[in-house]
Amino acid sequence: MSRTALLLLADGRFPAGGHAHSGGMEAAVASGAVHDTTSLEAFCRGRLHTAGLTAAGLAAAAATGHDPLALDDAADTRTPVPALRHIGRRLGRQLLRAARATWPCPELDHIAHHRPGGVHQPVVLGVAARAAGLTPLDAAHAAAYDSVGGPATAAVRLLSLDPFDAAAVLGRLADDCDDVAGEAADAAGRVATAGTTVLPAASAPLLDITGEHHAAWTVRLFAS
């Protein structure tokens, strides 16, 4: 594996469109639920262990070479609200464009061909990781980190938080990220024999409720 490929894939500057999304942070800030560093950390920790774990499982499974279209269906069953399914596919399309340019391969072409409307972002992330020569655990790490990196960066802009404080939050979440990635990769290792039902399906009621709510706003800074 190439460590540099993992850094590139997980880099917020990788042109995959993630900077336009707050992962529910904009809605949480608007409701007053996130207002300082402590509540930012609680938000990120909760998101990591729910949506982050689920995404990491899907990404790791895709990186094992499991059928990405079946994993896309599994992502649908784990995403009960339409707004978040829409966002997941939109982010997936953008990541797919960047990944095909960076690590061209038939597997990435395959999902573009079969799901022109897009595939959920964690599934694309896993296929891209595989194309870059990375392991399922690497893919899970990238997805877990992505689940908190985006919201933390968004909080800096939304709340004018000190970027050092936001970075410290992410630093304190490092062990949790490792645990989530490990759990996700373990589950992904069983997918080939046991099917996609063994993948994590952790969900968070408020992320679903506010995700749909945010999509109905007429004026917003972030797309999600």
Please tell me the distance from the alpha carbon of residue 64 to that of residue 72, in angstroms, as a whole number. 14
How many CB atoms are closer than 10 A to CB 104? Answer: 10
Told to check if 44 binds other proteins by CB under 8 A, we report yes
For 116-149, letters b (16+ CB in 10 Å) and e give eebbbbbbbbbbbbbbbebbbbbbbbbbbbbbbb
Stretch that binds other proteins, among 12-20, 60-68, 70-78, 136-144 (CB under 8 A): 70-78
Q: Would you count residue 141 as binding other proteins (CB under 8 A)?
A: no
102 binds other proteins (CB under 8 A): no
* Coil vs helix vs strand at 135: coil
Residue number, 121 or 210, with CB nearest to other proteins: 210
User: What's 51's DSSP letter?
Assistant: I
Q: Is position 197 an interface residue for other proteins (rule: CB under 8 A)?
A: yes
| Closest distance to other proteins from the beta carbon of 199 (Å) | 8
E-assigned strand segments in 51-195: none
206 binds other proteins (CB under 8 A): yes
Q: Is 146 in the site for other proteins (CB under 8 A)?
A: no
Stretch near other proteins under the rule CB under 8 A, chosen from 127-135, 138-146, 182-190, 194-202: 194-202
